[in-house]
Every structure is written in C-alpha cells, then in structure tokens.
Copies of this chain bind each other. A is one copy, B any other.
Amino acid sequence: MAQADTQREPPFRGRATIRDIADLAGVSIATVSRVLNDRPDVAPETRENVLQVVREQGFSTNRGARGLSSGRTGMIGLTLPLVADAYFGPMLSGASEALYERDMRIVLAPTFHDHDREMSLLDRLMRGTTDGAILMLPEESADELRMLQRQGFPFVVVDPREAPPEGIACVAAMHASGAKQATEHLLELGHRRIGAIAGAQGWYATEERLLGFRAALAGAGILLDPELIVYSDWRIPQGTQAAEQLLSLPDPPTAIFGFNDNVAIGALHAAHARGLSVPDDLSVVGFDDTEPAKIVTPQLTSVRQPLAEMGRMGVSLLVRLIEGQRVDALRVELATKLVVRDSTAPPRA
C-alpha cells in the first residue's frame, strides 16, 4: 500500500515492456511491434514518436517472447570442440562478429570432443531457443547430419571432419591447394626429400592435404616414399614424435611439412632436441597459420586458413538458410595462402 507508486513513469517495476512503450507513446502495442520490426505500414510521424520513447526508455525487445510468438528468436547455436584454442578461437570470433552485425546472439555450446554431448546439445539448441546452428568440426557422421536436416532445423557445418555430405550447407578451406603451395615452396627451395606429418587418418583435411602434397611432388617428378608420411593426431607431442620418426630414417628428409601448426611446432621441438637448426639443417612448414606460428622461434612458415572468415561465411550461409532464401552454393571453399616466414630455407649443401 505505502509501497508507493512503483507503477508510475519511466523506472518501471523491472524493465519496460512493449506495453509500457505503447502507453508512453500513446499507441497500441501492435504499432510498437511494427516499428520495432521495421514494418513499412507505419506513419513516419508515429514511427518517430515511438522510436523516441524506445530510446528514452532504453527499451529492447525480449527475445524469448519474440521467439515464442514469431518462431524466431534471433539466437543461433554454435557447437565446437574447444573454445580455448588457437584454431577454433578465430573461427568463433569471426562468427560472433558476423552475428553481432546482424543483431543476433550466439548460444555457445562447446562439446569438448564428446559426441554424445554434441548430439544432446544440438537437440537442446533446437528446442525453440535457437533459430539455427553452426557446427564447427562436428563429430556427427554424415548420416546423423542428414537426420538432423530432415528434422527441419537449419544448420551449417564449418570445417567438416569428414568429406562434406551432399546437400548440407558447408564451409571449408581449400586444403589441397594450400598443401600444394606449401610443398611447392619447399620444392622450389631445392628440397627433394620432404617428410609429411599428416593429421588424423580419415579426416577430410588430412586426405585433402595429402592430395595436394602428392600432387606437388608428382609435379616435380618425385616418387613419394611412403616412409615419409606419418600420421598424427594434430597435437604438439604427436608432432614431435612423428618428427623423431622421420628424422631417424636412414635417409632423413631435409624438410618437414606439418599438416597443422601444432605438429609443425612439434617438429621444431624435435629438431631443437637433436641440435638441428631450423631452417639451416631442416625446413619446417605448418598449416593453419594460427597465432603460435608467429610466436615460435623461428617463426613458422605456414599455410593460412581464413579461420575468422570461415566463421563469418558460416553465419552468412546460415542466415540465408533461416530466412528461407535460395542458397545456390551450399558448399563454400575458401582460399588458403602460404605465408613464408623463417622456418624454411634451401637444404644444406
């Protein structure tokens, strides 16, 4: 009772609702809604008036409520294996920038490489909280993805783990051409025996990069010695180990091509441990061009993947999907580019 007039003007009992704005502006909530959604059928004067009040009150619409009534929440889900990662970070960053520009929000769902978790997350993302999703390096098989698609939930895969399934929106980097460039760079420097620390077997990126590697070698008329390819799991220690193996060969390579920066850095470590100087005794090139490539000594020559751009592109595709626009290019491949730094040089002697 003596609770006083909390019901009065501006500082509402919580946050202003569309109804408060309507009252203040002396119009109906329908009109406010129209203004808020940029509908054309509002008198300019009315619109200005409403916007005025909206600004005064610092009002912005409750997405949950909007979602309920319109089916569109303005939020999109994003799953990715890891958040604290030099590889996924930039992708996430690019996606979040693009989303921000569209005034959309992102519901983050790290899977920590757990397939079940990813599935259940996805499942939950779909339940009205989110208009669509971006799946980065998803754990799902092509079949699972297709099933998801059949449920009518819009999503796009960024950086597919397996070969991108037909009919599913997907953005990837040009792995093969990047690998080819890297290998050719080594070849031009005069290297003839080039070892490769490939990624995990069966991964799309691994297979494609292998293709590019082989193509470059073939182009130089070099017959690939199978001993010179060793698979890894993309991580530094495995890279070190793989490099050890390569360098222990009776006829060791003079250059090593790591299929990502991690394994290349691992190779750097291995060289260091053997007292080999990079690039004088051994050239090393990486792939991805993540932050660490610029930090290690010597700075790593690496193939740049446009990670942030991949994130942005994923958003762009997804938004079109959500809006029901025709998407002609369901599959987008972004160019990669070799960045030469200090870890490559002509072979000794």
Contact = CB atoms under 8 A, between A and B. Distances in A.
Interface of A: 14-15, 58, 60-65, 67-68, 73, 75, 78, 82-86, 89-90, 92-93, 96-97, 100, 105-110, 112, 117, 123-124, 126-129, 151-152, 236, 265, 268, 272, 291-292, 295-297, 308
B86 A110 contact: no
A62 B96 contact: no
Contacts of A127: 15, 60-63
Contact of A65 (B60, B64, B124, B236): B64
Nearest to A96: B110
5 contacts: A64-B73, A75-B107, A83-B83, A84-B86, A292-B295
Contacts of A297: 268, 272, 296-297
A129 B62 contact: yes
Given A84-B291, A107-B108, A292-B295, 19 more contacts: A15-B127, A60-B124, A62-B129, A64-B128, A75-B129, A82-B93, A84-B86, A92-B108, A96-B109, A97-B110, A97-B112, A100-B109, A105-B109, A106-B107, A107-B107, A265-B295, A268-B297, A292-B292, A295-B295
Q: Give the residue among A97, A107, A128 with the most B Cβ atoms within 10 A.
A: A128
A291 B86 contact: yes
A172 to B, nearest CB: 19
A53 to B, nearest CB: 16
B93 A110 contact: yes
Given A83-B89, A83-B92, A83-B93, A64 B129 contact: yes
Given A68-B64, A107-B75, A58 B296 contact: no
A308 to B, nearest CB: 8
A129 B105 contact: yes
Contacts of A85: 89
A40 B245 CA distance: 61
A14 to B, nearest CB: 7
Contacts of A67: 64
Contacts of A90: 84
A90 B86 CA distance: 11
